Structure 1
Amino acid sequence: MDPLTLGLLVAAVTILVLFSGVSVAAGLLIVAGGFLLVFDGMRSLELMPEIFFGKLNSFALLAIPMFIIMGAAIASTRAGADLYEALERWLTRVPGGLVMSNLGACALFSAMSGSSPATCAAIGKMGIPEMRKRGYSDEVAAGSIAAGGTLGILIPPSVTMIVYGIATETSIGRLFLAGVMPGLLLVGLFMAWSVFHTWRYGNASVLATRVYSMRERLEILPRVIPFIVIIVGVLYAMYGGIATPSETAAVGALLCLLIAMIIYRLWSPAKLWGILRDSTRESVMILFIIGAAGVFSYMLSSLYITQSIAEWISALDVNRWVLLGVVNVFLLIAGFFLPPVAVILMAAPILMPIILAADFDPYWFAVILTINMEIGLISPPVGLNLYVINSIAPDIPLKKILVGSLPYVGCMVLAIVILCIFPGIATWLPDLVMGPI
């Protein structure tokens, strides 16, 4: 069978298997094993365990469970509520200030946790009821938190960026730096939309907002500053040449646990065990997907599917920006149905040769890919953040949450366009700190 035709068959079977309800990792192993058995014989099946565990034999992978523990420790405390309250006290008199407070809290919390669902849950529990109480519509209250939560996979430290670095054999430290300025760009666009929306449609409740004294604004900061210091310290250790990403992640996880215990009195062994238990479950899930994706990638390469797709696309006589547009559409569609980690691990082996052949920067492309995955997090049918918000505020229909998220999807698309016009937004900081590639 022609490799391109075989590739279409693999894609169709993969979609059917994943839609059947099996886990992503198990589905990838089933598809890879089945096609290897049919088209390459039993010999290839004997290599599957070696490929699976070989994919996990990487020191860089240690950063994943450490950053997850770091995020779980923060998510188990009132850190999200404190971040929200601190920003709310400083921005309360700004038009749309409460929405901006929520978005700013999402940005800071996501930088500490690296998790979109955790960010939605932590900030949404405080922010959504408060916005509704002050007269903001359900769409604005729910949509802003759902969109703000997506920042967790872009602003470093990001587990998604770690997975991309491992899948494409690129520098994780440089990837983290590449996400900083685009992350701030997205926060700025989200806040700009919030101010415009408030100005355009008005919000009488803003006039009734409480005025905080400078003393009240300053007294909340000691609860927030330690976590920000940890973020800065982790990034400094990583880029100052003091430690590797895995080592800094381990130190960051330990410090977050200590701060949770000291500042937030998280002494209960049951709660500490819960943090470690949940972190282990999430880490194993991600690592299982990584191992299974390694086998899946081997199957694509062994059957010459990856190489044939890359050759076919390279042979197309189209402008490289048209090519990028096609890639973006593919990523958007994939992000609608699959979690970001799965999309990256499945698509990277196919897309990376194409991106390099088109003379695009792989670190810049990592940001473009991640923003596409962010759109998927607030888009049906999967749209994980939509369901997280719905679980927090079950009286808000899913339709209203989606409608409230759509303007922020537009902001993300605008961010992609801006990054295409000014790629230096993503590449300037990595080049400044680590030197040109």
Structure 2
Amino acid sequence: MDPLILGLLVAVITILVLFSGISVANGLLVVAAGFILAFDGLRSLELLPEIFFGKLDNFALLSIPMFIIMGASISSTRAGADLYEALDRWLTRVPGGLVISNLGACALFAAMSGSSPATCAAIGKMGIPEMRKRGYPDGVASGSIAAGGTLGILIPPSVTMIVYGIATETSIGRLFLAGVVPGVLLVVLFMAWSLFDTWRNGSAAVLTARRFSLREKLEILPRVIPFLLIILGVLVAMYGGYATPSETAAVGALLCLGVAIVIYRLWNLRALWIVLRDSTKESVMILFIIAAAGVFSYMLSSLFITQSIAGWIGTLDVNPWVLMICINVFLLVAGFFLPPVAVILMSAPILLPIVTTAGFDPYWFAVILTINMEIGLISPPVGLNLYVINGIAPDIPLKTILMGSLPFVACMILAIVVLCLFPGLATGLPELILGPAV
């Protein structure tokens, strides 16, 4: 059978299997084993266990459970509420300062926890009622938190960037740096839209807010500054060449757990057990998907599907930007239905050779791919963040939350356009600090 037709058949069957409700990892394993058995015979299946476990034989993978423990330690405390309150106290007299403080808290908490749903829950529980009380439209109040929660997969340290680096064998440190400026760009666009929409709807109530004394502003800082210093220390150690991503993640996890115990008195053994249990579950899920995706990639390669697709794309007389638009549409559709980790592991090894052959930078593409995954988190039919917000504020209709999040989807699309016009926004910082990519 022609490899291109076979590739189309694999794509259709994979989609059908994943839509059946089976887990992503098991679905990839079933499809890979089925096609290898059908086209390479029974003896080829002997290689699958070796490929499966070999994919996990990577020192960089240690950073994933460590960063997850780091985020779980923060998510299990009042750190999100304190971060929100600290920003609110310092920005309360700024026109529209509450929505700015909410988005800022989302960005910082998402960077610390790396979890989009946890960010929505932690900041939304306090931020949404307070914004509504001060006259912000329900759409802005709910949509800004839903969108702000997505920033965790772009702003470092990011688990999805680690997964991309492992899948494509690119530098994790350089990927982290590539996400900094685009992450700040998204925060600025989110804030600009929120302030414009608030002004457009004539919500004068947002301009009236309580005054906080300098003492009240300063007294809350000791509870949030340690976490911020840990994040800063992790990044400095990584980019300063003092430690590898896995080593800095381990130290960061230990320090975050220590701060949670000392400052937030998380010394209850049951609470600590929940943190470690949930972290283990999430880590195993991600590592299982990584291993299964390795088997799936092997199947595509052994049947010459990957090579044939790359060769076919190379023979097309298509403008590289037309090709990039098609790739973005594909990523958007995939992100509507599948979690970011699954999309990255399934698509990145196939798309990266095509993207680099077309002359695009792999680190720039990582940022574009990640923003597409962010859009999927606040877009139906899955739109995980939309349902988290609806659970926090059930009296806000899901339709209102969706309509409130759509302008932020437009902001993300605008960010992709800006990055296409000025790719240096993603590649400039890595080249400045680490030098040109080899």
Question: TM-score of the superposition, structure 2-length normalised?
Answer: 0.98
Aligned-partner Cα distance in 1 for 2:206–2:140: 14
Q: What is the alpha-carbon root mean square deviation over aligned residues? A: 0.9
Aligned-partner Cα distance in 1 for 2:285–2:249: 19
2:106–2:145 CA contact under 8 A, matched in 1: yes
- Whether 1:132 and 2:132 are equivalent positions in the alignment is yes
Indicate the residue corresponding to 2:73 in structure 1. Answer: 73
Equivalent residue letter for 2:98: L
Equivalent residue letter for 1:347: S
Aligned-partner Cα distance in 2 for 1:65–1:187: 27
- For these two proteins, the number of residue pairs brought into alignment is 437
**1:300-311 maps to which residues of 2 (within 5 A)?**
300-311=300-311
Equivalent residue letter for 2:62: L
Equivalent residue letter for 1:330: F
Aligned-partner Cα distance in 2 for 1:131–1:220: 21
Q: Deviations over 1:170-217 (max 9, x none)?
A: 000000000001100100111111111122212122243112222222
Write out the 4+ residue segments of structure 1 that deviate beyond 6 Å after TM superposition: none
Equivalent residue letter for 1:134: R
Which one is further off, 161-170 or 302-311? Answer: 302-311
Indicate the residue corresponding to 1:143 in structure 2. Answer: 143
Aligned-partner Cα distance in 2 for 1:31–1:378: 29
State the SS of the aligned residue for 1:47: helix
Indicate the residue corresponding to 2:196 in structure 1. Answer: 196
1:115, distance to aligned residue in structure 2 (A): 1.4
Indicate the residue corresponding to 1:399 in structure 2. Answer: 399
Aligned-partner Cα distance in 1 for 2:123–2:81: 6
Indicate the residue corresponding to 1:264 in structure 2. Answer: 264
Indicate the residue corresponding to 1:106 in structure 2. Answer: 106
1:93–1:206 CA contact under 8 A, matched in 2: no
Q: Deviations over 1:215-267 (max 9, x none)?
A: 22222111111011001100011111111000000000000000000001111
Which one is further off, 388-397 or 262-271? Answer: 388-397
Indicate the residue corresponding to 2:237 in structure 1. Answer: 237
1:7, distance to aligned residue in structure 2 (A): 1.0
Aligned-partner Cα distance in 1 for 2:18–2:40: 23
Gaps of 5+ in 2: none
Aligned-partner Cα distance in 2 for 1:150–1:142: 13
Indicate the residue corresponding to 1:278 in structure 2. Answer: 278
Aligned-partner Cα distance in 2 for 1:248–1:199: 43
Indicate the residue corresponding to 1:44 in structure 2. Answer: 44
1:318, distance to aligned residue in structure 2 (A): 1.1
Indicate the residue corresponding to 1:220 in structure 2. Answer: 220
1:336, distance to aligned residue in structure 2 (A): 0.5
- Whether 1:20 and 2:14 are equivalent positions in the alignment is no
Indicate the residue corresponding to 1:60 in structure 2. Answer: 60
Equivalent residue letter for 2:118: A
Aligned-partner Cα distance in 2 for 1:273–1:224: 23
Aligned residues with identical type, % of pairs = 81
1:100, distance to aligned residue in structure 2 (A): 1.0
**1:416-427 maps to which residues of 2 (within 5 A)?**
416-427=416-427
Which one is further off, 339-348 or 208-217? Answer: 208-217
1:406, distance to aligned residue in structure 2 (A): 0.5
Gaps of 5+ in 1: none
Indicate the residue corresponding to 1:89 in structure 2. Answer: 89
1:95–1:198 CA contact under 8 A, matched in 2: no
Equivalent residue letter for 1:275: V
Aligned-partner Cα distance in 2 for 1:208–1:229: 33
Aligned-partner Cα distance in 2 for 1:412–1:326: 17
State the SS of the aligned residue for 2:64: helix
Q: Deviations over 1:339-385 (max 9, x none)?
A: 00000000012101101101111001100000000001101111111
Equivalent residue letter for 1:32: A
1:93, distance to aligned residue in structure 2 (A): 2.2
1:96, distance to aligned residue in structure 2 (A): 2.1
Indicate the residue corresponding to 1:172 in structure 2. Answer: 172
1:95–1:199 CA contact under 8 A, matched in 2: no
State the SS of the aligned residue for 2:179: helix
Aligned-partner Cα distance in 2 for 1:207–1:377: 31
Indicate the residue corresponding to 2:252 in structure 1. Answer: 252
Q: Deviations over 1:22-54 (max 9, x none)?
A: 100001001111111111111221111111100
State the SS of the aligned residue for 1:135: coil
Aligned-partner Cα distance in 2 for 1:388–1:48: 38
1:94, distance to aligned residue in structure 2 (A): 2.2
Indicate the residue corresponding to 1:337 in structure 2. Answer: 337
